[in-house]
């Protein structure tokens, strides 16, 4: 039972605004306590960003091991980025690791099925399975179960105590990929 019911000012004091990734957002400033002083005394301030920072990673795998990861720090994948930044890495890594006899396979993500992506793959890859939307059922994770195993191994290889920001997440991810390569995943 609460004995003392008063209004509680949950905003930051003017002398101490909350800065979250360089942007002040009052929505990120919430503490459950009877007063601001009580929360400060107990060290009960816990900031959590409502929409986390995004990092998109493309990590390929083949019979010879892992392919160089492509990391997008501030953007969502689209066909233009996929064609410009991912496909050249996939092509170069495929040739280096497998020579001339290999097939490039991708899922039904929008950048993969874009007509320009499809054309580039048909024109430049030694062999290519075109438009996966016509080749296998949509949303079929059971056909790519290796993806889950790979990401699980990567997650377990990472030192999550070291990851405190986007920059350290990227560093740790790159290091963990190197560790997995050593294990001949």
What pLDDT shows up at residue 29? 53
CB 165 within 8 A of CB 52: no
Residue spans in the chain of domains classed CATH 3.30.420.10: 56-182
- Contacting residues for 160 by C-beta, under 8 A, at least 6 apart: none
Average pLDDT over residues 40-47: 61
Buried b (16+ CB within 10 A) or exposed e, 39-70: beeeeeeeeeeeeeeeeebbbbebeeebbbbb
pLDDT at 13 over 60: no
Of 179 and 148, more confident:
179
69 to 154, 171, 174: CA distances (angstroms) = 12, 12, 8
What pLDDT shows up at residue 100? 92
What pLDDT shows up at residue 83? 96
pLDDT at 117 over 70: yes
Nearest to residue 60, comparing CAs of 155, 125, 151? 151
**Rounded distance, CA 50 to CA 27, Å?**
8
What pLDDT shows up at residue 47? 57
**Rounded distance, CA 82 to CA 90, Å?**
10
**In the chain, where does DSSP find H-type helix?**
36-42, 79-81, 87-98, 110-113, 115-124, 145-157, 166-182
Give the pLDDT band (50/70/90) at residue 32. Answer: low
179-183 long-range contacts (CB < 8 A, ≥24 apart) are 180/66, 180/153, 180/154, 181/65, 181/66
DSSP designation for 66 = E
Give the pLDDT band (50/70/90) at residue 136. Answer: low
| CATH classification number, 56-182, choose in 3.40.50.1820, 3.30.420.10, 3.50.7.10, 3.30.1330.60 | 3.30.420.10
pLDDT at 4 over 80: no
CA 75 to chain CA centroid, Å, is 10
Average pLDDT, the chain: 76
The secondary structure element, H or E, covering residue 62 is strand 61-62
Average pLDDT over residues 55-65: 84
What pLDDT shows up at residue 184? 63
pLDDT at 58 over 70: yes
Name the token pair of 122: 């048909």
DSSP designation for 48 = -
pLDDT digits (tens, 9 = 90+) for 88-116: 999 999 999 999 999 888 877 889 889 99
């Amino acid at each position: 039972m609460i004995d003392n019911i008063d209004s509680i000012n949950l905003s930051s004091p003017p002398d101490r605004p909350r800065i979250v990734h360089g942007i002040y957002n009052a929505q990120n400033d919430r503490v459950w306590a009877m007063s601001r002083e009580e929360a400060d005394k107990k060290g009960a301030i816990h900031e959590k960003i409502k929409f986390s920072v995004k990092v998109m990673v493309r990590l390929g795998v083949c019979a010879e091991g892992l392919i160089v990861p492509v990391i997008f720090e501030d953007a969502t994948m689209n066909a233009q980025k996929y064609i410009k930044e991912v496909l050249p890495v996939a092509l170069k890594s495929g040739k280096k690791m497998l020579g001339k006899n290999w097939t490039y396979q991708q899922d039904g993500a929008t950048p993969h099925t874009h007509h320009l992506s499809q054309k580039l793959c048909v024109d430049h890859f030694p062999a290519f399975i075109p438009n996966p939307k016509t080749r296998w059922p949509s949303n079929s994770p059971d056909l790519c179960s290796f993806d889950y195993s790979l990401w699980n191994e990567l997650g377990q290889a990472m030192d999550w105590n070291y990851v405190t920001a986007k920059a350290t997440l990227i560093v740790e991810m790159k290091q963990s990929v190197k560790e997995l390569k050593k294990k001949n995943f």
